[in-house]
Amino acid sequence: MIEAKEINVNTETGGEISYETTLFAEPVFHTNNFTFTNALVTSWLAVLIIIILAVILRKKLKEVPNVLQNVFEIVVEGALDLCDQVTNNRSLSVIVFPIAISVFFFILINNWLGLLPIGGLGLLEKGEHGLAFIPFLRGGTADVNTTIALAIMAVIGANLFGIFSIGIWKIFNKYVNLKALGQIFTKIKKDKTIIIVAPITFFVGLLELVGEFAKIASLSFRLFGNVFAGEVLLASMAAIFAYILPIPFVFLEILVGVIQALIFSMLLVVYFTISATDHDAHDEHEKHEENVVVSV
């Protein structure tokens, strides 16, 4: 068992309870052949909260907004402006925005649910070292499975988006650059250096393929690490001096929750935008401009 933090407390029964934050999500209850971990429970709760909020907002949608609608209008408008800054294109950001903001709210609510003191409610279970305390609420993003799933969704989604917007052949050539190899035969008469340049371009394409996996790793571990480290930080601060000392760190963690959700969804928008831009068209455009300059 991997222990991040262990505090042993003597209870009245004389047994020891270990309050530890484990690297993996702990199982809360079992059905026949399916284990419900606390991270899973929390992420379902987050989904439920989002659904309820969405339904309430939809029912009370008015020309003159009430308080809740006002708050969300400010948030969505600000987020759409931020999205515009990344994509530089309203029509593109209108397509990407719904995915990004859903991911944002899912991560944000998960991060904040993990901070709730209700996480203190939980089960006592027989672990390897006597009784172990298992909280019901553990931020869904503090489980590496959730963050890897989100990251894979972001990267595969970006590539699918690229396929739908600029075509499967161009996306395929981004990774396995057959077009560059083909240019050896078509352009060799004009430009002798292509015989050196084309294999390099092909190799860069393969590196791009590795880069996609690096994207998954960095996205998932950034989110997981930040949220998980926050939980451990709070636990160890509470161990040093309970109730008072953790309070400033709780504020820090609330801020970190927002920032990490923002970063994840902004990177998602960036990946979608990169994959939807046609780099060849850009080159041709530049060439066209050069031609214009020459002709002038």
Partner 1 sequence: MELDLSTLAKAIAIGVGAIGPGIGIGLIGAKAMEAIGRNPEATNKILVPMLLACAFAEAIAIYALVIAFSIK
Which residues sit at the interface with partner 1, rule CB under 8 A?
2, 4, 23, 218, 221-222, 224-226, 228-229, 232, 256, 259-260, 262-263, 266
Report the distance separating Cα 179 and Cα 197, nearest Å. Answer: 12
Report the distance separating Cα 243 and Cα 212, nearest Å. Answer: 43
Q: Closest approach of Cβ 55 to partner 1, in Å?
A: 31
Report the distance separating Cα 95 and Cα 63, nearest Å. Answer: 24
Q: Closest approach of Cβ 158 to partner 1, in Å?
A: 19
Q: Other C-beta atoms within 10 Å of 93: how many?
A: 22
Q: Of 21 and 177, which has the nearer Cβ to partner 1?
A: 21
Give the amino acid at 114. G
| Residue the block writes with tokens 């409610």 | 121
Report the distance separating Cα 42 and Cα 248, nearest Å. Answer: 24
Q: Of 5 and 187, which has the nearer Cβ to partner 1?
A: 5
Q: Of 1 and 48, which has the nearer Cβ to partner 1?
A: 1
DSSP states of 25-82: PPEEEE-SS-EEEHHHHHHHHHHHHHHHHHHHHHHT--SS--HHHHHHHHHHHHHHHH
Report the distance separating Cα 19 and Cα 289, nearest Å. Answer: 66
Q: Closest approach of Cβ 220 to partner 1, in Å?
A: 11
Q: Closest approach of Cβ 227 to partner 1, in Å?
A: 10
Q: Closest approach of Cβ 25 to partner 1, in Å?
A: 15
Q: Closest approach of Cβ 218 to partner 1, in Å?
A: 8
